[in-house]
Amino acid sequence: MSYKHPFQRHKTREVAIGNRVVGGTNPILVQSMTTPDTHFVEEVVKQIHLLEEAGCELVRVTVPKAEDAGALGEIKKQIHIPLICDIHFDYRMALMAMDHPIDKIRINPGNIGGFDRYRQVLRKAKSKGLPIRIGVNAGSLEKDLVEKYGFPCPPAMVESALRYLEIAEEEGLRDIVVSLKSSDVLTAVEAYRLFAKQADYPTHIGITEAGKPPYAVTKSACGLAPLLLDGIGDTIRISLLGDPVPEIIAAFDILQATQRRVRKPELIACPTCGRLEIDLEGIIAQVEKRLEGKKTPVKISILGCVVNGPGEAREADLGIAAGKGKGVIFRRGEIVRHVLESEMVDALMEEVDRWELEEKMNGTLKEEIGLGSPEKRVALPLARG
């Protein structure tokens, strides 16, 4: 029941990060960053386990001190997703971190300390077989570029990324991911679009320092949705103040809304108005509760009146169009049941279970789907430890 959107993902090269691969036609991976000091191993591991449970697929830790680098091996032993080290200012921390079992290094070209130190990091990464992320940030752009352009604008950010990519290629390192982050939505979006026209390296997309939810989630969605709809982005992070677990939920919600990764049922409901003649909020709450944990990518529509209800329900995989105290259940556009309001939730869930069973029997049940080309929807594997 889905319209075939004319979507084409930006073609990027593949880069392996631990046991995952980004770029190409691989799923857009969701990542986050821990908040405790990295040398507090128990706290960091506990938080990473919570992130894993939420679906996090890549995790980053900061390494500002030698004791943080020394904790990396113990952290790596206790987690199940690739471990990325975030380096600012002191290139020696990057060199030290790479002596431990990590999966990627993220550096900021604006504060790594110059080209010679950057080359040292590149050479060691190449010798260790590690990928890097060149993390350009509008807030720490190189001084000469700020002077050239007058302010940290998108062309300046892209020039920064390209100059560091050129040096990496000179050193023979091509396993590189690039990010061009800004706390300004328009700056970030334009920077990523400009970069995508000039390079085929995979990108990590995000709006940096977005702030506190719920506004920060809205701000991130405004910045990332246009990029995702343009086919840009190979990994994603929603930067939120505080507990990082909500970052994972928000990231997957944005990926689901843009149909880049659909990994759970989508529930559609009307905003309610004076025409409503059933307890729609109560019904939605019950259905949401009973859908928890389900991974079937089925679109479910529950509409509370006869104006848009029948049409919307027909466009969904499953749907309810309700009137006064009763309604009809649609399945693939056809009416399959007439039900009373008191029966709606149980009847709908029976149809959800039947949908899952039939899809399994037909061999067509997908744990997760995403738009891979204008012609087809492509099955994607769920993240596992």
Average pLDDT over residues 215-229: 96
**How far is the C-alpha of 36 from the C-alpha of 372, rounded, in Å?**
37
Q: Which of 200, 225, 257 is the last residue of a domain?
A: 257
CATH code, domain with 81: 3.20.20.20
Question: Are 221 and 333 within one domain?
Answer: no
Which structural domain range is residue 270 located in?
266-362
Does residue 357 carry a pLDDT above 50?
Answer: yes
% of the chain with per-residue pLDDT over 70: 89
Question: Are 184 and 69 within one domain?
Answer: yes
Residue type, 283: I
User: Is cis: bond before 202, omega within 30 of 0?
Assistant: no
Residue type, 43: E
Q: Which of 362, 381, 379 is nearest to 371 (CA)?
A: 379
Is 378 part of any domain?
no
Cβ atoms of 23 and 14 within 8 Å: the answer is yes
The strand pair at 318-322 and 20-22 is best described as unpaired
Question: Are 69 and 126 within one domain?
Answer: yes
Average pLDDT over residues 30-58: 98
CATH code, domain with 347: 3.30.413.10
- Mean pLDDT, the chain, as a whole number? 89
Query: pLDDT tens digits, residue range 293-324?
Result: 888 888 999 888 766 666 666 778 998 888 88
Average pLDDT over residues 11-34: 97
Say what the pLDDT of residue 115 is: 92
**How far is the C-alpha of 339 from the C-alpha of 326, rounded, in Å?**
6
**How far is the C-alpha of 258 from the C-alpha of 56, rounded, in Å?**
19
Is 64 part of any domain?
yes
**How far is the C-alpha of 96 from the C-alpha of 121, rounded, in Å?**
10
Looking at the structure of the chain, the number of domains it has is 2
Q: Which of 59, 217, 191 is nearest to 137 (CA)?
A: 191
Would you say the C-alpha torsion 373, 15, 174, 149 has a positive or negative sign?
positive
Is 385 part of any domain?
no
Is 377 part of any domain?
no
Flag whether the pTM goes above 0.85: yes
Q: Which of 288, 370, 273 is nearest to 28 (CA)?
A: 370
Structure tokens at 123: 């050479």
Is 384 part of any domain?
no
Say what the pLDDT of residue 270 is: 80
Question: Are 142 and 168 within one domain?
Answer: yes
Is 156 part of any domain?
yes
DSSP 56: -
Question: Are 228 and 295 within one domain?
Answer: no
Question: Are 340 and 243 within one domain?
Answer: no
Question: Are 223 and 333 within one domain?
Answer: no
Does residue 98 carry a pLDDT above 90?
Answer: yes
Question: Are 285 and 238 within one domain?
Answer: no
DSSP 34: -
Q: Which of 214, 235, 257 is the last residue of a domain?
A: 257
**How far is the C-alpha of 154 from the C-alpha of 146, rounded, in Å?**
11
| CB-based burial, 134-150: b 16+ in 10 Å, e otherwise | bbbbbebbbeebbeeee
Cβ atoms of 61 and 43 within 8 Å: the answer is no
Q: How would residue 148 be classed by pLDDT, with cut points 50, 70 and 90?
A: very high
Is 158 part of any domain?
yes
Question: Are 43 and 186 within one domain?
Answer: yes
Is 379 part of any domain?
no
Does residue 385 carry a pLDDT above 70?
Answer: no
Question: Are 251 and 351 within one domain?
Answer: no
H helices, E strands: number in the chain: 13, 17
Question: Are 106 and 242 within one domain?
Answer: yes
Question: Are 248 and 273 within one domain?
Answer: no
